[in-house]
Amino acid sequence: MSKQRSASAVFRVDATQKIGGGHIMRCLTLADELRKRGWDCTFASRHESVETVPLLAKSEYDILMLEGPERDEAQEIEAHIRDCDWLIVDHYGCDQKFERGVRIFAKKIMVIDDLANRPHDCDILLDQTFGRNAEDYKSLVPERAQILTGADYALLRPEFASLRPEALERREKGGPVRRILISLGASDPHGATAKALLAIEQSGFDDVSVDVVTGSADPAAMGLVKIAKTMPQQVDFHGFDADMATLMVKADLAIGAGGSTSWERCCLGLPTLMVVTADNQEKIARELAAAGAVIVVECGIQIDPFEFGKIIEALTEDKRLRINLAKAAAQTCDGSGVVAAIKVLKL
């Protein structure tokens, strides 16, 4: 009896200093769950993706490094892949033109998006944005396409769901703020991380410790190490390979961007001051703020460290507000989205 062929998935996804690493991270989460189920997974990405998210290279997945012009990507992938059961596209630069071009070797296509601003030729459309409605994509995908929207489909690693009970139990007690987590994505074009550190320094809370996740950026090159040395607070730096779930469970307060880590923080009920670092984060920030799940501060370059410090001070002193933020955040996402998404991926 011949051995049954493994199912296969190819991920067309990139990470850059401009767009950050969230696209790669959520695709790695999905790929890891598929691999557990016996699937063969391959990533089709450009070189900057590995530089931006070193975890991609460490994952041991096959990586097809795309080198030709963007207009020829479909042919370049076909030349190496030949055929696949699912092509999973998580890329702002891809639309129905690219997707139609890969139909020749991809049996099914899944698109992961959060912009709802261009047409797609796909079988499944997944947008994990809280508050997103299927109607937003009705005119952008074929009638046959299945549309999955909302944070119920947030692609989080399993450790977030497993640590959720412990985290929510901590939030209910509303203890004092002893640990602050700063995580503003793989890139920080507006220097918001430095401003957050200066804000904490000026907040007057000297007995807190600070964890800073800087992704692929060099903390020293960003001037963060120099700032940290002058602060009375203990500051520790972490890379993209950090155990984010554990850092979030231990944190009492987060200063975070409006990208994909939003759902990780929500799953663990982590009270958050959200900094919008890119245009595509505005809807996430708006919806979560309306739900009472975050407090949004001004975007990037507009942040004044002194005013930011006063916001941190106010939230640190307001136990009831932190508890309410935690409860509202936890209601938006329970961490089971990747399992829900995989149930829809049929051969």
Same domain, 132 and 163: no
Read off the CATH number of the domain in which 19 is found: 3.40.50.11190
Is residue 343 domain-resident?
no
Same domain, 268 and 128: no
The per-residue pLDDT of the chain, averaged, comes to 92
Same domain, 123 and 183: no
d(CA 5, CA 54): 30
Same domain, 183 and 143: no
* Domain total in the chain: 2
Higher pLDDT, 304 or 45: 45
pLDDT at 36 over 80: yes
Read off the CATH number of the domain in which 277 is found: 3.40.50.2000
Same domain, 121 and 68: yes
pTM of the model: 0.93
Same domain, 218 and 88: no
Confidence of residue 240 (pLDDT cuts 50, 70, 90): confident
Same domain, 289 and 142: no
From edge to edge, which strands make up the β-sheet containing 146-149?
A: 62-65, 40-45, 8-13, 84-90, 106-112, 124-127, 146-149
Reported as type and span, the H/E element at residue 332 is: none
pLDDT at 286 over 60: yes
pLDDT at 347 over 80: no
Question: Residue 300: its pLDDT value, please?
Answer: 56
Same domain, 59 and 18: yes
Is residue 345 domain-resident?
no
Residue ending a domain, choose from 149, 168, 199: 149
pLDDT at 1 over 70: no
Residue span of the structural domain in which 107 resides: 8-149
Same domain, 180 and 311: yes
Provide DSSP, 153-194: G----HHHHHHHHHHHHHHHHT----EEEEE--S--TT-HHH
Confidence of residue 297 (pLDDT cuts 50, 70, 90): confident
Is residue 87 domain-resident?
yes
Question: Residue 2: its pLDDT value, please?
Answer: 45
DSSP H helices, 204-344, are: 224-230, 244-250, 261-267, 282-290, 305-317, 319-330, 337-344
Same domain, 99 and 210: no
Same domain, 138 and 218: no
Provide DSSP, 50-79: HHH-THHHHTT-EEEE--S-GGGHHHHHHH
Higher pLDDT, 21 or 32: 32
**Structure confidence by residue, pLDDT tens digits, 77-92:** 999 998 999 999 999 9
Rounded to an integer, what is the distance from CA 327 to the centroid of its chain? 21
